[in-house]
Amino acid sequence: MTLLPQWLMRHTATIRPFLGDGAYGPVFGEEVTERCLADDERRLVRDADGTEVVSDLTLYMRPGVVCPPGSEVTVNGRTTTVIVSHARDGGGLPTPDHVEVACT
């Protein structure tokens, strides 16, 4: 397995994983801090329902990071919401395995 190089992980993300909706609004799990690469690029992505949504921030993290849609992520003092998260696994090919997270 080839991973994204650690020297690329220049940013720190604080993740509050979305667990579901409760009686008083969204319910989040315990905060987790992960190293990442933050890319401030506006682009169209598809959410879990297949609807096109504008993403202003894409994060690249190590494989295995759990960041479900609806989670709150804080990077560089900016708090955003996760639109969609994808595990990028090359299946043994020499590609950098990672988790790609698109945020609002």
Read out DSSP for 9-46?
Answer: --EEEEEE-EEEEETTEEEE---EEEEEEEE---EEEE
The whole-number pLDDT of residue 1 equals 61
| 3-state percent helix, strand, coil for the chain, nearest multiple of 5 | 5, 60, 40
Structure-token match 């993290």, residue found: 61
> Which amino acid makes up residue 32?
V
Nearest to 42 by CA among 53, 32, 33, 51: 53
Q: List domains and CATH numbers for the chain.
A: 2-103 (2.40.10)
Q: What pTM, to 2 d.p., does this model score?
A: 0.89
Q: How far apart are CA 2 and CA 91, in angstroms?
A: 10
The whole-number pLDDT of residue 90 equals 83
Query: Please, what are the averages of pLDDT over each run of 10 residues along the chain (104 residues)?
Result: 82 96 94 95 92 95 93 95 92 87 95
Number of Cβ atoms within 10 Å of the Cβ of 36 = 26
